[in-house]
Amino acid sequence: MEEHSMREDESTNLQNDSDLQNSLRRRPNANSSNTTTILPDSSSSSSMTTTMMKKNNREIVNLSENSGIDSSTSSLGNEDDQERKENLLRNGEICDEKKIENVDQEEKTDNVSFKYASRASAPAHKRVKESPLSSDAIFRQSHAGLFNLCIVVLVAVNSRLIIENLMKYGLLIRTGFWFSSKSLRDWPLFMCCLSLPIFPLGAFNVEKMAQFKFISEPVIVFLHVMITTTSILYPVLMILRFDSAVQSGIILMLFACIVWLKLVSYAHTNYDMRARSKSVDKEDASSNSPDAEYSYDVSFKSLVYFMVAPTLCYQPKYPRTPCIRKGWVTRQMVKLVIFTGLMGFIVEQYINPIVQNSQHPLKGNFLNAIERVLKLSVPTTYVWLCMFYCFFHLWLNILAELLCFGDREFYKDWWNAKTVEEYWRMWNMPVHKWMVRHIYFPCLRNGFPKGVSVVFAFFLSAVFHELCVAVPCHIFKFWAFIGIMFQVPLVILTNYLQNKFRNDIVGNMIFWFIFCILGQPMSILLYYHDLMNRKART
């Protein structure tokens, strides 16, 4: 009987020890009732055990503080904790009593620190700190709330101005500005626009003859030069021959410039592929080398796709998307209609009255000219942003979706441009890629310096800007040409300021001031008054 009772006592002690270990292993965390803390076994390191002991003691302190346990209950908890330590020592999980004393000392220090931090005598200022809007800390802060405030204020102010304008002047929109009887009589320009596909067809025939080696390389180059030159001169002569509406002339010139850029890319790319195919053996051409990826093969289907695709750089194959998202296209079309209407409303309601009530910026009172330019800067900025969003984001993405065109990088974050050079590299990616591929790199390969190559690219851009504006207006005072060529010294100036101040905000503000506050309003005033003077003379 004694042996039986001793065995029962031993089994009871073992059971209590195992229950104690299980309770320690499964003791809930202070932050979550579902998480469990696993007690390491005898082979675990002492650091893990020390961490566990800290956690257990913290829970005991928090439990006693939160539940309002008195000192007697707290002493009972300490006795239980002492028994738990003895059990851990007996089981070999903590082999050094000094470690337990260190844990207790750390726990006491933590408890004292916590209680001291909540006292009135605790220091409230412990280290050096900067104000969030100070010059040293302002760029390390998030200004999302201030940005939201600016949007709210902008919407409120513009809403008030729109209501005030409508109450004072009424609705000034007239259909004659967009669709006039004169525009309907511009059938020669319409026929010229329909005849533009003749030039890509001629370029295709030239490449076919070159593929079968019916003509030599100099003849190929001469024929392509004739086709591309005719494709741009023919619309210019038609616009100058017939006194058409300005809007019709601008649309025709834009189409003609796009066709010219595509034809140059088509001829230049095929010329390069012919040269590569001649320098590569048949074995290399059949391999997976980069030269074999775009072998010289004239395809009418590739040309047709290129002429309608939202790109100016020809290549036989493009990255494609698997399907057309019809719902997405519908949503983008609705946005296109809305923002186009908004752009027309701003032009009719704000820009036209301001321009009509102004004087020539180069004549009359200088202060009046500055006042008109500043007053015109806000609506022209809105129209320019709407134009960018409608064309580069909505229309080009709609066209790319309908054609399953994969590369949709039509622009980059040009609004963050720190210099004028960055703006021209990011705001119109189709033209930028064309310039780099067919103007800049060929100039470098032919020995021209980098600066000369950049100037030549700006010169070509200035010529086409002048054609798109001066020819439809029948005004050849080279305002657009001068404005684009003026970008070259601005590139040098903004690069110098960026390198000197090392401040992105300064460069970005200079960019916005040059384009939106000064450049565009001045161009509109100059061309408008010259156009009115021309109409008065005729």
For residue 27, which phi and psi values (nearest 5 degrees)?
A: -65, 130
Encoding tokens for residue 129? 């700190």
| Catalytic status, residue 143 | no
Encoding tokens for residue 400? 């790319």
224, 438, 465, 474: the catalytic one is: 465
Q: Comparing C-alpha atoms, which of 23, 15, 9 is closest to residue 80?
A: 23
Measured distance between the N- and C-terminal CA atoms of the chain, rounded to whole angstroms: 133
- Asked whether 317 and 301 are in contact (CB, 8 A), the reply is no
Produce one character per residue of 492-522: b if its CB has 16 or more CB atoms within 10 Å, e if not: eebbebbeeeeeeeebbebbeebbbbebbbb
> What are residue 405's DSSP bridge partners?
320
Give the helix, strand, coil percentages of the chain, each rounded to 5: 75, 0, 25
- DSSP secondary structure string, 36-97? EEPPP-TTS-HHHHHHHHHHHHHHHHHHHHHTT--HHHHHHHHHHHHHHHHHHHHHTS---H
356 CB contacts (<8 Å, ≥6 apart)?
Answer: none
Encoding tokens for residue 503? 């401040």
Cα–Cα distance for residue pair 61/369, rounded to 1 Å: 77
Cα–Cα distance for residue pair 489/34, rounded to 1 Å: 68
> What are residue 320's DSSP bridge partners?
405
Catalytic site positions: 465
